[in-house]
Amino acid sequence: MMIRSTPAAGEHIPGGNPPDAAAERVRGPALGAELAQSRVQLAELSARYEEVIQSPAYRIGSAISRSPLGTLYRAVSRLRRHRQVSGSPVTGSPSAAEVHADHASYSSGEFLARLQALPQGEPIAIAHPEWLGIRSSASQMFEHLLFLRDDLSPAIAQEIARRLADCGPSAIVFQGFPYTYQHLVDSLHRSAQHIPLYAVWHGTFMQASEDYAWRSFRLVCSLQRQGKIRRIGCVKRGQDEILRRNGVDASFLLNRYTQVPQHASKVADGASRLGIWSISELRHKPPYEMLAAASMIDNAIVVGSVASQRMREFCEEFGVPNDFVGSVVPQSEMPEHLAACHVNLYVTLNECAPMLPLESFAVGAPCIVGPNTPYFEDDPYLRSRLVVDVPDDASEIAARIGDVLRERDQIVSAYKAYAVRYNALSATTVKQFLD
């Protein structure tokens, strides 16, 4: 015999008060919206699953997992986890600025201690630790960060939500919105409605062709329309206006980098070092116009992190000396690499407000950008030296490189004054976003 302790939704209890008709009329559309969202999410997750299982990487990984090598790997992993659990306790005081976690440590004593060290009454930003640009943006906009991967289950999200509620933040701001963050939003909305939830979207409409970005964007808009997220912040100028026109509460945010250079970085004598630091070849971030521009600069060498085979062939074809690291540079080492360049290049076909140019200037190395960012809009001198009006015009990129090489010290000096104004404006946009 099944005993139900609580009535089902809409069920009338004999002898009790009849259901409130007005409340039912309000509840009906809300439940319908959530049901519609659940159907969309189920379809999207099914599509994602089908994409994964049909991919060559999944098939190869499955074959390796079933092989003796996979068995050995799992045994070594179990041994490592056992050593971590039975090892010595964590020493040192936890950082209140950044809280790191991965799937295996959400319930660990170290993670919980760091979470509890976050101060009460202040905003907490949540970001994926491996989304480097978004992570950098979040660290400059907000003082206190929690890093969570895209691996949250409803149960894990419920536990993290409980811990976050105990911290008593003034707001929680989701950055970029990894897909499984929806579980944390739902848990916080159920159990901690007094904490306002926000999301910052770092993409552009051009990325609607990318499956993951499109699904995540639709999800965060749906959560805002349902009232689970108070407001969406957009770092692409004008995107907030379009969202508001379509029923989504949104506002514009300016990325910033609070470190201001005192002078231009000291660079080695010899060839002019031109930095290209894209970590992959995306359709809206091709490196080839920048490489072609480098071929027009006498006594120059291109440096960077990762270079594809095609990039190396391009350098060979156009006689571009190069010295690529060959792997993604750890975030902690990027300032040193950026500062060693005479000029860094970040001329792309589509952008919001990229962090790399700000990070480059922070260490005293000028960075050339395309016309699709809000940078240097109110500074005629910097705009004339650093902004390429036509991002796929290699000759114009080369002209800007020449300008920077001739006026490097003067450009960094002008940036010092510009950064003070710009950072103050950025802080104002963040304050308005959270109001």
Q: Give 336-383 pLDDT, tens digit per residue.
A: 999 999 999 999 998 999 999 999 999 999 999 999 999 999 999 999
Beta strands in 315-409 (DSSP E): 322-324, 343-346, 367-369
pLDDT of residue 267 exceeding 60: yes
Of 201 and 89, the structure prediction assigns the larger pLDDT to 201
425-to-239, 313, 420 alpha-carbon distances in Å: 18, 43, 9
Biggest CA pair distance of the chain: 91
Instruction: Classify 105 in phi/psi space as left (phi over 0), alpha (psi -120 to 50) or beta.
Output: alpha
User: What does the pLDDT average to over 101-110?
Assistant: 62
Residue 277 has pLDDT above 50, yes or no: yes
164 or 36, which is more confident:
164
pLDDT band at 106 (very low <50, low <70, confident <90, very high): confident
**Quick one: pLDDT band at residue 326, thresholds 50, 70, 90?**
confident
Query: Which pLDDT band holds residue 305 (cuts at 50, 70, 90)?
Result: very high
- Both structure tokens of 219: 């999800």
Contact in structure between 140 and 187 (CB atoms under 8 Å): no
Q: Which of 95-109, 247-261, 370-384, 385-399 has the lowest mean pLDDT?
A: 95-109
Report the C-alpha gap between 144 and 167 in whole angstroms.
Answer: 12
Res 110: pLDDT: 77
Judge residue 191's burial from the number of C-beta atoms within 10 Å of its C-beta, 0-12 exposed, 13-18 middle, 19 or more buried. middle
Q: Is the pLDDT of residue 45 over 70?
A: no
- Mean residue pLDDT across the chain: 82
Q: If DSSP codes are grouped into helix, strand and coil, which group holds residue 146?
A: strand
Stretch 164-184: mean pLDDT: 95
**Type of residue numbered 216:** S
Cβ neighbourhood burial of 87 (10 Å; 0-12, 13-18, 19+): exposed
Retrieve residue 352's tokens.
């919001």
Average pLDDT of the residues in 17-40: 53
Q: Is residue 201 over pLDDT 60?
A: yes
Amino acid in the structure at residue 206? M
Whether the CB-CB separation of 401 and 298 falls below 8 Å is answered with: no
Least confidently predicted of 113-127, 239-253, 346-360: 113-127
Distance CA(232)–CA(80), nearest Å, equals 41
Residue type, 319: G
> What average pLDDT does this structure show over 146-174?
93
List residues bridging with 304 in a β-sheet. Answer: 276, 324
Asked if residue 318 has pLDDT above 50, the reply is yes
Q: What is the mean pLDDT of residues 250-258?
A: 96
Instruction: Classify 404 in phi/psi space as left (phi over 0), alpha (psi -120 to 50) or beta.
Output: alpha
CA separation, residue 22 to residues 25, 29, 33, 41 (Å): 5, 12, 18, 29
Compute the average pLDDT of residues 281-287: 82
* Residue 398 scores a pLDDT above 90: yes
Whether the pLDDT of residue 83 is over 50: the answer is: no
Q: Positive or negative, the Cα torsion across 390, 394, 396, 397?
A: positive
Beta bridge partners of 234: 201, 252
